Amino acid sequence: MPPLTPAAARLTTLLAHRPQPALGVFLPAGFPTWTAGIAALRTFTKSGADFLEVGVPHHSPVYDGPDITAAYVQALEQGTRMAHVLSTIRLVAASASIPVVAMTYWTPVCEFGIERFAQSLARSGAAGAMIPDLPITEAAAWLDAAREAGIHTPQFAPRSADEEQLRAITEAASGWVYVPATAAPTGYQGRLDLHALHDYTERLRALTPQPLVAGIGISTPERAAEVAPFVDAVVIGSPLVRPLLHTPGARGLDTAVEQVRAFAHALRAPASPRTLSA
């Protein structure tokens, strides 16, 4: 098997044996504009983000709530295409020392070409790509192409998955296994069932040595601190997209940056044991 690219190797190193969880931040490419999105991602890297997720805008984002869906629509209406996504990754990865991972639905990958997508990501400096709706019947083509390109294939583990499905997901994963903190779409701001999340992460750790990365429903720094004992990283998206969507310009970016700093601070606090009160 070809070796990992330097970017993919950096992601492996980042998530290995951390005393506190890493912070990943998500932003769709082309949002709020192509250049403003690149500037925002670069600013996030200086404000506490440990790795970046760059979203590929899609017209039917089934796992996403209204904020990220609206951001995708805005990016698409402004003409964002896969070339802009790859350019965003290339420009951000070239100016930052932290890993960058693409987050995409399956349809854009098929339309662009599976092998072409994997090779283009590797050339752009991406560490890998997560495809949350990757069909299990078509997974082999993507996994083979990504491994040939030397990039990671993080896998999304839906809370509804049974044991057989989880085994297939964890066997396909490299880089990390993504654990939704809730079964709701992105942008959920309600309470989290921490006991259920703890049990789910324990099931996954029994199946895989891959790092566990949590997202969806981690709406505040306090929520991040609650989830932190059970995972190796936390990814936030809607708390950053929301101010950029509803407060355009410098004020919205300032609010998003404040969010990154607050989440980073919450995760940098001394680690708590992985236990829960009754």
| pLDDT per position as a tens digit, 128-150 | 999 999 988 889 999 999 999 99
Query: How does pLDDT run across 44-92, given as a tens digit for each residue?
Result: 999 999 999 999 999 999 999 999 999 999 999 999 999 999 999 999 9
Of 50, 64, 226, 232, the catalytic one is 64
Catalytic-residue membership of 232: no
Rounded Cα–Cα distance for residues 251 and 100 (Å): 25
| Omega before 32 within 30 of 0, i.e. cis | yes
Neighbour-count burial for 27-48, b at 16+ CB within 10 Å, e otherwise: bbbbbbebebbbebbeebbebb
Of the candidates 172, 178, 166, the one whose C-alpha atom is nearest the C-alpha of residue 211 is 178
CATH match for 6-10+21-268 among 3.20.20.70, 3.40.50.300, 3.40.50.970, 3.90.1150.10: 3.20.20.70
Query: How does pLDDT run across 161-174, given as a tens digit for each residue?
Result: 999 999 999 999 99
How many separate helices (H) and strands (E) can be counted in the chain? Answer: 12, 8
Catalytic-residue membership of 67: no
pLDDT of residue 278: 46
Of 50, 53, 67, 232, the catalytic one is 53
Lowest average pLDDT, out of 134-138, 153-157, 216-220, goes to 134-138
pLDDT of residue 276: 56
User: Hey, where are the domains in the chain?
Assistant: 6-10+21-268
pLDDT of residue 271: 54
